[in-house]
Amino acid sequence: MVSKGLNSEKPKARSFLALPADYAGLLRELKGRIRSTQAKAAVLVNRALIDLYLHIGRRLAEQESKKGWGEKVVEKLASDLRAAFPSIRGFSRSNLFHMRQVYLAWADADESVQQLVGLIPWGHHLLLVARVQKPAIRIWYLQQAVVHGWSRAVLTFQIESRLHKRQGKALSNFEQTLLSPQSELAQQTLKDPYIFDFLSLGPDIQERQLEQALVVHVQRFLLELGVGFAFVGRQVHLAVGEEDFYLDLLFYHLKLRCFVVIELKAVPFKPEFAGKMNFYLSAVDAKLRHADDRPSIGLLLCKSKERLVVEYALRGLAKPIGVAEWETRIVESLPDELKGSLPTVEELVEELESHGPQSNTHTRPASATKLEKDSARSATRSRPASTAKRKG
């Protein structure tokens, strides 16, 4: 007689649950609702924390004029608060002084600004108070951080590159070629100069080298361009009649709802650049623009420019064109007292190469993500010389 061991039993057949047809849809809906609730809760918690810190800062500011309220008393207060609430971080002596600083920074702001104060994290407030001294400029960065959802790293970069002095400063003919409010929105979309601090380029840089370097660092390039730019392609082919033309870089702006053609120049602006861009925009509007898209916009990035030459070159052109300069070093545009505290271009490039591409807050189509993976290959790819009509 053969005895049956424990392992002699036949394995039970795995049972499969037949799910209703609408199960996947319900699961997606509930996941979305949970994530939305988590996000709302995070906003509420942050607002409550900022309100608490500002209240403490206000009370400290009120007490500082009274006799006996010196640094030692604040240090004792910090120690007692930590003892009372050991699980809550943020009650250090230095942070209590920061609370007073941040409170004073926003104390005189109007109601509309006060409503924004609770919408950014505490680290953003510390950065704004430490780096931006003028209240009006500090308010501008607060508004931009809220509108665009900047991380602390992005806010740091925008402050260091003096975005408030560059935003909307490009020379253009938008007022004559675009209807309002598209003209105002397009103008505010462009900067002057553009800061390509992530590139290590010599003084004899050629346009193709600049273009390849920007594509390799497409994430950082999108960050500098600003919110809303989606990468479409590099050296985009346009067949006009029996001739072939190639756009340096083509983007689509999600807010402006239009194509943006960017042409790169390693030399100072010349009037003929505007004429060729006008031609490119006519071709893009005819061949790529959808019926729902708005007129395409051109951006000429040049090593330098003369204002009067640009104004004369754009006068009378039918297509909306902006002209701006580009720089490869932040320190070239910063006050002397800040230059020594910033890294060199070489240090920035070394940091990028050691840590890989940084995260980006912009929405981009799949083509941009694929391009990053194949950046080395795409940067060295060249088109047949026999079919290329290069710009002058």
**Residues of CATH 3.40.1350.10 domain(s) within the chain?**
166-380
Correct CATH for 166-380 of 1.10.10.10, 3.40.1350.10, 3.40.50.720, 3.40.50.2300: 3.40.1350.10
pLDDT, tens digit (0-9, with 9 covering 90-100), for 221-241: 777 778 888 888 888 999 999
Counting residues of the chain whose pLDDT is more than 70, the rounded percentage is 73
The torsion angles phi and psi of 311, rounded to 5 degrees, stand at -60, -45
96-105, 141-150, 347-356, 369-378 — most confident range: 96-105
pLDDT above 70 (res 6): no
Mean residue pLDDT across the chain: 78
pTM of the model: 0.59
pLDDT, tens digit (0-9, with 9 covering 90-100), for 27-63: 999 999 999 898 888 888 889 999 999 999 999 999 8
154-158, 178-182, 193-197 — most confident range: 154-158
The torsion angles phi and psi of 238, rounded to 5 degrees, stand at -130, 120
Beta pairing class for 194-195 and 297-302: unpaired
Per-residue pLDDT at 228: 84
pLDDT above 70 (res 386): no
3-state secondary structure of 369: helix
> What totals of helices (H) and strands (E) does the chain contain, helices first?
18, 7
Neighbours of 100 (CB within 10 A): 21
Per the structure block, which two tokens stand in for 249?
């870089």
Amino acid, single-letter form, for residue 162: R
pLDDT above 50 (res 319): yes
Burial class (CB in 10 A: 0-12, 13-18, 19+), 308: exposed
pLDDT above 90 (res 140): yes
Nearest to 207 by CA among 91, 326, 121: 326
Q: How far apart are CA 316 and CA 321, in angstroms?
A: 11
